[in-house]
Structure 1
Amino acid sequence: MQIINCEQGSPEWHAARAGAITASMFKTARTRVNELDERQALYVAYVKAGMTEKEAATKAGYKAAPSAEAVKRALAGEKVGDWSDTAKNYAFRLAVERIAGAPLDEGFETWQMARGHELEPEARMEHEMATGLVVDRAGFVLTDDGLFGASADGLFGEDGGSEYKCFVAPDRLRAFHIDGDASEVMDQVQGCMWITGRKRWHLGLYCPALAPIGKQLWLREFARDDDYIESMVDDLLAFAGLVDSYEQTLRQKAA
């Protein structure tokens, strides 16, 4: 990996991220539409293996053969599923950044991003106080090929890292504090461990508004999940191919 020592939000940080598929966007990069669901995929596999439609339907858990258009296309050998428009727009942005060698938005920050960068030192301090750890800032970390990157908010010990979120939206706060659900950011958490080679990651949700009841920091540790990472990387490499195709198309048009 390549570690770029820079302040998050700085011009150097924005330049390092330009054209790289970043961990905070891994979930977006993996989003697809019109895919077969698990039972549909089983049904298609059984039919292609030689079962009758009735046998395949029963074995896949259906009362009758599914009639979805996606199933019909899959059985006909046609392509099923596609990247979401959000993923396509992100891929196109990255293609432009690769050509320009600079951020497409010239380093513009939303108020949410600016707030996160401002509160990050407080979140790190709360983390250190809660755990007794000494957390070092890491700047931006890239894979050796520069395709993927992560803004690791902190690194500690030989195998630990941390990410701090400063959400204010009630639905996001509730997911963590009430439901204990961190699935929204799990691609980023596992992605950071993949890129940095770390084995455990601390996720801290920092909300100063909850300081009066001593719950300003929601903190959990997650272990590296190599099966999760393997599946995620397969999707990300396919997405990287989409970025490449957009870049090639743009360069051909320019020529």
Structure 2
Amino acid sequence: MIVLNCAQGSPEWHQARAGVITASMFVVARSRTGGLDEKQQAYVTAMRSGMSEGAARDLAGYRAAPKAESIQRAIEGLPVGDFSEAAKAYAFRLAIERISGMPLDESFETYAMRRGHELEPAARREHEIASGHMVQRAGFVLSGDHLFGASADGLIGKDGGSEYKCLISPERLQRIYIDGDASEFMDQVQGCMWLTARKWWDFCVYCPAMEIIDKHLWMRTYQRDDEYIDQMVEELAEFEKLVTHYETTLRMKEAV
């Protein structure tokens, strides 16, 4: 990995991210439409878990083995369906950034992003107190080929890292605090472990409004899941091909 020691939100940070598929957007890059229905997914999950074809068929409710190409692709671990419109838009933006060498958003920062950057030092301090870890700020981490990157909020020792979210959406806070569900952030968490070659990651939600009941820091430690990462990397490689396709098409049009 390549570690760039630049402050998140700084001009250098925005420049480093230009044209790079970033961990916070992995979930968008992997999003697809026209995927498997519930019955097909049950069959694929059973087959990939090592269940026999007959048992998988019975579990999913098939009388005969399904022959759909999408099911066979899914069993082989290949992506199914077409990229979502959000994924296509993101790929096109990256293609333009690779051509220009500059961030297309021109360092635009939403209120939520600005709030996150402002509260991150406090979140890191609360995490250090709660966990006993000393957290090293990491800036931006790049893969060796400069195609993928992550704004790792912290690195811990040789094996760990940390991510801080300062959420304000009641719906997202409810999923975290009530349901204990941080699945929407797992691509980012596992992506950071992939790019930094770490074994575990502390995912933290910092909500100052909850301090009055001493629940302003929600923290869970997630272990590296190589099976999850392998699947994610395969799908990200497909997305990268889409970015390259857009870039090649744009350059060809320019030449004409």
1:82 equivalent in structure 2: 82
1:61 equivalent in structure 2: 60
Q: For structure 2, which runs of at least 5 residues remain unmatched after alignment?
A: 48-53, 74-78
1:114 equivalent in structure 2: 114
Q: What aligned pairs does 1:28-107 form with structure 2 within 5 A after superposition?
A: 28-37=28-37, 39-40=39-40, 42=43, 59=58, 61-62=60-61, 81-107=81-107
Q: Deviations over 1:109-162 (max 9, x none)?
A: 111101000000000000111112111100000000000000000111111100
1:123 equivalent in structure 2: 123
Q: Identity of counterpart residues, as a percentage? A: 60
Matched, 1:18 2:18: yes
- For 2:221 and 2:203, how far apart are their aligned partners in 1? 6
Matched, 1:249 2:240: no
1:158 equivalent in structure 2: 158
Cα distance, 1:36 vs structure 2: 2.4
CA contact (8 A) 2:40 2:60 kept: no
Cα distance, 1:65 vs structure 2: 8.0
- For 1:63 and 1:237, how far apart are their aligned partners in 2? 32
Q: Aligned in 2, Cα 1:162/1:231: closer, same or farther, shift over 3 Å?
A: same
Cα distance, 1:19 vs structure 2: 0.4
Q: Deviations over 1:25-58 (max 9, x none)?
A: 0001000100124643759xx9xxxxxxxx9996
Q: Which stretch shifts more, 56-65 or 4-13?
A: 56-65
Structure 1 moving runs of 4+ over 2 Å: 36-43, 55-67, 71-75
Q: Aligned in 2, Cα 1:204/1:252: closer, same or farther, shift over 3 Å?
A: same
CA contact (8 A) 1:73 1:80 kept: no
Matched, 1:183 2:153: no
CA contact (8 A) 2:57 2:65 kept: no
2:139 equivalent in structure 1: 139
The aligned length equals 240
CA contact (8 A) 2:162 2:203 kept: yes
CA contact (8 A) 2:70 2:81 kept: no
- For 2:246 and 2:37, how far apart are their aligned partners in 1? 28
Q: Aligned in 2, Cα 1:88/1:123: closer, same or farther, shift over 3 Å?
A: same
What SS is found at the alignment partner of 1:108? Answer: coil
Cα distance, 1:81 vs structure 2: 1.4
- For 1:245 and 1:40, how far apart are their aligned partners in 2? 30
CA contact (8 A) 1:29 1:90 kept: yes
Please identify the structure whose Cα radius of gyration is greater.
1
- For 1:173 and 1:59, how far apart are their aligned partners in 2? 39
Q: Aligned in 2, Cα 1:152/1:30: closer, same or farther, shift over 3 Å?
A: same
2:168 equivalent in structure 1: 168
What SS is found at the alignment partner of 1:251? Answer: helix
What SS is found at the alignment partner of 1:35? Answer: coil
- For 1:57 and 1:214, how far apart are their aligned partners in 2? 47
2:234 equivalent in structure 1: 234
Q: Deviations over 1:47-85 (max 9, x none)?
A: xxxxxxxx9996463367899xxx87759x9x9610000
2:50 equivalent in structure 1: none
**How big is the alpha-carbon RMSD for the aligned residues of Structure 1 and Structure 2?**
2.5
- For 2:103 and 2:18, how far apart are their aligned partners in 1? 5
